[in-house]
Structure 1
Amino acid sequence: MLNIYDPGVWDHIDDKLRDLLVEKGPIRKENLNFPLDEHSRHFSATYYKRGLNNGQTHNRSWLVYSKLKDKAFCFCCKLFKVMHSRSHLAGEGINDWKHLSEKLTQHERSREHALNFIAWVESRERLYKNETIDKEMQMLIKKDKEHWRQVLFRLVAIVKCLAVHNLAFRGTHEKVYQNSNGNFLGLVEMIAEFDPVMEKHFRLIQDKQIHCHYLSHKIQNELIANIGSKVKSAIIEKIKESKYFSVILDCTPDASKIEQMTLILRCVDVSSTPAKVVEYFLEFLVVEETTGLGLLNVMLDAIKSLELDIDNVRGKGYDNGSNMKGKNQGVQKRLLDINPRAFYMPCGCHSLNLVLCNMASSCVKSKSFFWSLSMPIYYICQFYKTLGCFA
């Protein structure tokens, strides 16, 4: 898919794409780490400003940077250039950082740049006032954009509903109005009975007027991934706000026999009134080596990827496995060497499971002890079995 925010990929620009880029305008991403070239030079955000002779600065609104190609481009010349443009800023871009200031000054004083800049401003004003030559076409485009915006609004609401209630999305079929096509398509069909937007959308699909209907499993996965990313970002912001947090880890193999480790972070939600302790599940981590060192490295990489500080860990909870709680090579000992303030607390459910298993084993060996404690142990086991502490 075309990245409309990176000028390095604007090779074949038609009228539709040009209008879209003019409407969006030049986008500059903040806090970018500009890579160094072979001379240890790089692009700088200071080039976005032009120093005047009277000491004031002027914004070069036309200057954009391509992260993909590590080059600078002229926004208006890239869109409105003639076939044989002499400026590199309108074509393949410039990455000569040593002479960039000189070339920018030379470019913005050229007649070609002035004409393209005027064409850009006039096109932007016409689109804003809806006074373009193809006015009716622009109105149809805006109407179509609004339709797709409303469709996506409803699809996102369905994804949120199914995720909150922990329901499966797909069934055995992926077509509307078929049996066993899953909860997602089923909710879409139900909304189409009452909502004119989805009713029109279904009519366009059935009449084969559109082929991109945004109902496939790929779109569902993309929506789930995007929403999950936003939720994770919100969780990370809450953890950073509270600063200190605890880590809870546990490993289990999935259906494909791949060992996975759950990462749960526990912190104080200071944004709520009153403040309360909360736990957040972040992700599943694939584990290739189940030793203490292997598990620790996976956890450290995950903490680093979430942009959290390992020195702010104030607690950790694991099961009773030797690779977890081992006092010499376990995860808790290795993390304690990195952060002495990370207090270790063994899992209460795992500890209770071991206690009851040892009690039952002792009862089998001693019949008198078994008969005296058989009934209490039986009820205790039944109680904690209902809680899911052990099988």
Structure 2
Amino acid sequence: MNAPGNNQMIAPKIQKQLVNACAVETTNAILADLGDRWFTLLLDEARDCSVKEQMAVVIRYVNKHGEVIERFMAVVHVATTTAACLKEAIDSLFAKYGLSVARLRGQGYDGASNMSGEFNGLKSLIMKENPYALYVHCFAHQLQLVVVAVAQANQYVCDFMWIVGSIVNTSASSCKRADKLRQLEHDRKVKLLER
């Protein structure tokens, strides 16, 4: 109420600064909770809609209450998905946040050779620095592989997934269609409430 009417902070530059400030404070809170405890590193890389390779970084640790905590730390742009490039990005991230590879006790990635390769994979590069950073294949990725294999073996499941995919693609491909579907659902609920 005491601020001027034009002080709405809606300029894109200001909004980006606010978001960045929130991200910094959140990261500082995570690092404070982590303290000097051991932690595990979980990574996955993917190409975003602007066709840039991005690496998502998550850490997992046990807090002072004995609870297993998993926190998203950052999305890091990587030039390529080679193990050396990913390792360089991790080293840079660790330096930025004051994390040490010596405190790393686990690694979790998918089964791609650049990540889990026995000789030249990211797993091997990290284990050369810290042999206690044991590698575990990502269970979510393993579950996805099992679901895909089971779905492909069962024609009913295959057909169901194809139908669901078609519905999602049809409804989500157009903003107008999505708005129309929302409006139809809204109208249906209003009629049910009126009864």
* TM-score between the two structures when normalised by the length of structure 1: 0.38
Structure-2 residue corresponding to 1:230: 25
Cα distance between partner residues in 2 of 1:227 and 1:284: 15
Deviations 1:82-110 (A, max 9, x none): xxxxxxxxxxxxxxxxxxxxxxxxxxxxx
Q: Which of these residues, 311, 323, 327, is aligned with residue 114 of structure 2? A: 323
Q: Which of these residues, 43, 46, 66, is aligned with residue 249 of structure 1? A: 43
- Answer with 1 or 2: which has the greater Rg: 1
Identity of aligned residues (%): 27
Amino acid at match of 1:352: L
Q: Tell me the matched-pair count.
A: 161
Structure-1 residue corresponding to 2:84: 293
Structure-1 residue corresponding to 2:135: 344
* TM-score between the two structures when normalised by the length of structure 2: 0.73
Cα distance between partner residues in 2 of 1:357 and 1:262: 23
**Unaligned segments of structure 1, at least 5 residues:** 1-196, 206-210, 364-373, 386-391
Higher strand share: 2
Amino acid at match of 1:378: V
Q: Which of these residues, 29, 34, 40, is aligned with residue 239 of structure 1? A: 34
After superposition, the Cα gap between the structure-2 partners of 1:247 and 1:217, relative to the gap in structure 1 and judged at 3 Å, is same
Q: Which of these residues, 205, 217, 232, is aligned with residue 12 of structure 2? A: 217
Cα distance between partner residues in 1 of 2:15 and 2:113: 41
Give the secondary-structure state (helix, strand or coil) at the position aligned to 1:328.
coil
Structure-1 residue corresponding to 2:99: 308
Give the secondary-structure state (helix, strand or coil) at the position aligned to 1:315.
strand
Structure-1 residue corresponding to 2:55: 261
Highest RCO, 1 vs 2 (Cα 8 Å, sep ≥ 6) = 2
Tell me the CA shift for residue 300 of structure 1. Answer: 1.5
Amino acid at match of 2:136: M
| Conserved 8 A contact 2:151-2:157 | no
For the pair 1:378 / 2:169, whether they are aligned, the reply is no
After superposition, the Cα gap between the structure-2 partners of 1:316 and 1:220, relative to the gap in structure 1 and judged at 3 Å, is same
RMSD (Å), alpha carbons:
2.5
Give the secondary-structure state (helix, strand or coil) at the position aligned to 1:300.
helix
Amino acid at match of 2:44: D
Structure-1 residue corresponding to 2:177: none
Cα distance between partner residues in 1 of 2:103 and 2:85: 21
Cα distance between partner residues in 2 of 1:285 and 1:353: 24
Give the secondary-structure state (helix, strand or coil) at the position aligned to 1:246.
strand
Cα distance between partner residues in 2 of 1:310 and 1:281: 18
Cα distance between partner residues in 2 of 1:213 and 1:305: 32
Cα distance between partner residues in 2 of 1:310 and 1:240: 14
Cα distance between partner residues in 2 of 1:213 and 1:318: 43
**Unaligned segments of structure 2, at least 5 residues:** 165-195
